[in-house]
Amino acid sequence: MSGARRIARGALGIAFLALVVLGSCRAPMTVYYNAPSLAPGTRPEMNTAGFWIGRHPDPDAVIMTDADILWFNEHVRVKTGAVYDVLRLSPERDGLSLKDSLRRILDYVSSKGYVTRDGQKASAVFLPALKAAVGMDRVPARVEVRWGLAVNNCDQRLLPSSQPLYRSPTDTNIDRLQNNTLDIATPVAVLHQSTDGEWLYVISPFSDGWVEARNVALCTRDEIVGFQVSPSFIVVTDAKADLFGDPALRRHSSYLHMGVRLPAFVEPETDVIQVRVPSRTGDGRCAFEAAYVGGSQVSRGYLAYTPRHAIQQAFKLLNAPYGWGGLYGEQDCSRFIQEVFSTMGIVMPRNSTQQARVGREVASFGKKTAATERSLALSGQATGGITLLQFPGHIMLFLGMVDGTPYAIHDIFAYTEPAEPAERLMAINRVAVTSLALGSGTKKGSLLERLAMVRSVSPE
| Residue 274, domain CATH | 2.30.30.40
Examine the pLDDT at 448 and tell me if it is beyond 60.
yes
Closest among 153, 39, 41, 63 to 346, alpha carbons compared: 63
Across residues 256-268, what is the average pLDDT? Answer: 91
What CA–CA distance (Å, rounded) separates 347 from 77? Answer: 9
- Helix 95-111 and helix 127-134: axis angle, to 10°? 170
Q: Tens of pLDDT along 406-424?
A: 999 999 999 999 999 999 9
Looking at the structure, tell me whether residues 207 and 262 fall in a common domain.
no
Residue 116 CA from chain centroid, whole number: 25
Q: How confident is the model at residue 29, as a pLDDT?
A: 59
Instruction: Report the percentage of the chain scoring pLDDT > 90.
Output: 87
Examine the pLDDT at 44 and tell me if it is beyond 90.
yes
Q: How confident is the model at residue 295, as a pLDDT?
A: 95
Q: What value does the mean pLDDT of the chain take?
A: 92
Q: Which of 265, 300, 335 is the last residue of a domain?
A: 300
Whether the Cβ atoms of residue 415 and residue 429 lie closer than 8 Å to each other: no
Looking at the structure, tell me whether residues 337 and 295 fall in a common domain.
no
- Note down the domain range covering 417: 3-64+305-456
The model's pTM is: 0.92
Domain count, the chain: 3
Examine residue 223 and state whether it is found in any structural domain, yes or no. Answer: no
Examine residue 45 and state whether it is found in any structural domain, yes or no. Answer: yes
Q: Which amino acid is at 451?
A: L
> What does R_g of the chain's alpha carbons equal in angstroms?
22
Q: What is the CATH number of the domain that holds 319?
A: 3.90.1720.10
Examine the pLDDT at 104 and tell me if it is beyond 90.
yes
